[in-house]
Amino acid sequence: DDLERLAGAIRRADTAVAVTGAGLSAPSGVPTFRGDDGIWDRFDERQFTSDRFRRDPAGFWTDRVALHRAMFDEEYEPNAGHEALAAMGWDGNLEAILTQNTDGLHGDAAGAGGERTNDGEPDVAAETETTVLELHGNSRWVRCTDCGNRRDGDPIVERAAAGELPPTCECGGVFRPDVVLFGDRLPDAVLQRARSLARESDVFLAIGSSLVVEPAASLPRLAASTGATVAIVNLEPTPCDGIAETVLREDVTAVLPRLRDLTTA
């Protein structure tokens, strides 16, 4: 069937690469952005632009605390989908994970604790050779807009929640979440790396993403244009279904463990 064919392609591939989106973390209890009761139903994207942050950092942080609570308040952990992808990395069957998620769950699944820097150097997870490239940064971290000092974000979010608006660094600079805001460009090094991995790939998997936000949206097409077999895992149709050899309209926690098993069979 489709899944067996895809597993065969992954086994034969020199380079398999995955791009992941909010649908992968949905079974972990992290809400998706689009769709019923999605984050952009409850919040307005304009609250979180880089422009807003510069104009009104106090208002931005008030809204950011609410967003943070809506997304990450529960104890959230990697699910069977993250674990299957990490295992495919250990097996040597997955070269890179390009994620739009800022929840750090790929790092957790790989045993790297979500540790990374946002300076364009991808995090090579401690126990694997799989590159985890967090395209939109990591919500667990903040950085100072003046001195660049990067910090564990939780205590800073707590300070903002307690009324320090905006939270500031010892140097006097304002902290910002270490994520890509609307209106920010992705760091060039990150973007270049993601594009070259897509071009290098023989198999390109798009998992749990609506594929409507750039640059992730154009990665499947880029991969296909250089000959990759594209596969999509999503409960709903995406704009890239037409170029995909395989479309698996199923839950990530059902498909990915089976896919991993078939690639090791």
Catalytic residue annotation: 136
How far apart, in whole angstroms, are the C-alpha atoms of residue 189 and residue 241? 28
Q: Which of 13, 8, 12, 30 is nearest to 21 (CA)?
A: 30
> Which of the stretches 64-72, 148-156, 190-198, 228-236 binds ligand OAD when contact is defined by CB under 6 A?
228-236
Residue with Cβ nearer ligand OAD (209 or 229): 209
Please list the residues that pair with 43 across neighbouring strands.
none
CB atoms near residue 227 (< 10 Å): 9
Site for ligand OAD in 12-51 (CB under 6 A): 21-23, 26-27, 32-35, 38
- What does 143-188 look like in DSSP terms, one character per residue? EETTT--EEEHHHHHHHHHTT-SS-B-TTSPBEEEEEPPBTPPPPH
CB of 101 to ligand OAD, least distance (A): 6
Site for ligand OAD in 57-76 (CB under 6 A): none
> Which of the stretches 5-13, 62-70, 141-149, 203-211 binds ligand OAD when contact is defined by CB under 6 A?
203-211
How far apart, in whole angstroms, are the C-alpha atoms of residue 126 and residue 217? 29
Q: Which residue is nearest to ligand OAD (CB)?
A: 23
- Please work out, in degrees rounded to the nearest 5, the angle formed at the alpha carbon of residue 152 by the alpha carbons of 151 and 154: 130
258 lies in the binding site for ligand OAD (CB under 6 A): no
- Residue numbers at the binding site for ligand OAD (CB under 6 A): 21-23, 26-27, 32-35, 38, 100, 136, 180, 182, 208-210, 213, 233-236, 251-252
